[in-house]
Structure 1
Amino acid sequence: MPIARVKMTRSRMLARAVLVVVLPLVTITAAKAQSVADFYRGKTIIYNLAVPDGASWGLYARTFIEHLHKHIPGNPTVILQVMPGAGGVIAGNHVFNVAARDGTVIGTPLSTSMVFAATDPDQVKYDPRKFSWIGSMAVVQDVITVWHTAPAKTLDEAKRTELVMGATGKASNSFQDIALANNLLGTKFKTVRGYKGGAEINIAIERGEVHGRATTWDSWPGSHPDWLRDKKLVHLVQLGPRKLPEIGNDVPLFRDLVGEGEPRAIVDFVGASLAMGRAVYAPPGVPKDRIEALRAAFVATMKDPAYIAQARKLKLDADTWQTGDAVERIVNEAFSLSPALIQKAKSAIDLP
């Protein structure tokens, strides 16, 4: 009997010790989750969009925030704030320096403006490595496209005939893709800058003010499926890690047209913005538990059947999303290149 009592006593002591260790952990975890929910309950999150709300970027942002709120603890309201200008630099400066650092401001930058910070750090007031990256809704594939009546309708013809292309600012893909083609492929594109966004450039194309533009591929089925259906657009070259068959097997991939070594390294560096895609970020300094909650909410939204169904209905990419860690790695890799190579990339996209 004494032996049995000793065994029972030891068992009870062990059980109590386990409870002493486990219960505080459970309490801390629950309190942590509760504190995030308490913070966001009744709050409004501002979703800052770096481009005009008139094309694919706006479609992605609106579709995303429509479903995001229900996956954030406390179910806050999420509203869209549109802040275009300077190829995304204005929004980047704002989110980095002005926006609240408490988790109530998130947004989507123009991804080229993040790479622009590596080539022209003096022209921006943000460091992409210090943003809190939440995730990316989709990888981006760019195309250089002209109107069906343009005087040149192939890449070879564009090397002999001048084509006028619309663009926003120097930090945008509408400018950088065109400059890259001129400098690495020998095309004769002439860029007209100053348009407020893609929708405005599209109007200029239809009016005959410009012949075309560089943009994300999915902006076309998203904003002008009628132009695709009626074959009013001619795609000259696509930019990205691999060819997309939906663009057309006869449309060459930019990186396949340049030699290995430095030219391809430059193309891949500029293409880091495509790999980042339609990213979601928050300012630096947001409490870690709120960033973790936002990252978890992002993943839950990407996996939400309602979000996926709506995205596909709108012809948006619901399959190539990435986590915040993945976007962070892309940004850090872009900034890890040698200063000499970054300088050559800067020259290739016509940045002084």
Structure 2
Amino acid sequence: MTRTAMVVGGGVGGLAVAARLRMDGWRVRVFERAEGLPETGTALGLWPAAVRALDAIGVGEAAREQGRPQLRTSLLRADGSRVASLTQKDPIWLLSRPPLLRLLHKAAGEVEFGVTAPDVRELTGHDLVVVADGINSAARDVVFGEAYRPRYVGATAWRGTVDGDTAEFTETWGERARFGVTPQEGGRTNWYACVLAPQRQRFPGAEAAAVRSRFGHWHAEVRRVLAGIDEDTVARNDLYYLARPLPSYVDGNVALIGDAAHAMTPDMGRGACEALVDAVTLADSVCTLGVEAGLRRYDKLRRRPTQRMVTASLLVNRAAHARRFTGLRDLVVKLAAR
């Protein structure tokens, strides 16, 4: 008998789990409230575990072909001097969200765009319901209650892309602020900037000017990027995380994955990666063991590691935006890198 699944959310995790389940013969419906796949988006870092998850659904090679491999990340000071460099044995593949989602959509098949999913408690008669509706998950509220809503971390982020290539992934830390620069496919440069700020603070029509004002005196590579930004290409989002860990990632035949389960700040660059690993682990488990035992295995394998990642990302966020003792902070980071 054909098994059926409903997936709430057609982002990275939702598309990945649908693709893997359909490989095993499941009939899957995916609800996505957006009208279609995004046309713009900045780079995501795909760590080795995430690339292995992409391999499991048949799109890993295409992701490597389209992405940019990165073996070294450098941490700099605002004057451009180097604090530390971290070298990976296996590359992190940098690929922006739109091409990644196109690959996942092709693997996943049909998605019902522009559709808000019904209450997960109304999705009866299916073997499995997967909640993948992101950081502000309405389904999480239904399953676990409003006590598990995300919390503002106290920092806001701008991001975008500019023309021109860059060879190295760098992140520059200053006092209560940082600026990241990474390569992106197509010979472009991806950038992001974070500062401490009041929640929902905005500068309508002047976000680019705000970034230039805050970082315009930093080192030459930051200034090069700032010279290329314009208001139409700057996106701004406040940063949130799931401060209260969920007691379980499953409830009955409902499973939460990605940001719905463990929303984290982007400081470790692992949000999309963990969603991919969640998706493949969940699908592999239920396909191999059946739904009940598979969900238990998924929760056992993924809940504690991802909740530790939430904590680690938060600690990096606190360190990067330190108000005092930044010299000592940089020394500790340098020693840790060694």
Relative to total residues, which structure has the larger helix share, 1 or 2?
A: 1
Please say whether Structure 1 and Structure 2 have the same fold, judged by a TM-score greater than 0.5: no
TM-score range, shorter chain: under 0.3
Structure 2 length as normaliser, TM-score? 0.20
Pick 1 or 2: higher relative contact order, CA cutoff 8 A, min separation 6: 1
Q: Which has the higher strand share?
A: 2
Q: Which has the larger radius of gyration?
A: 1
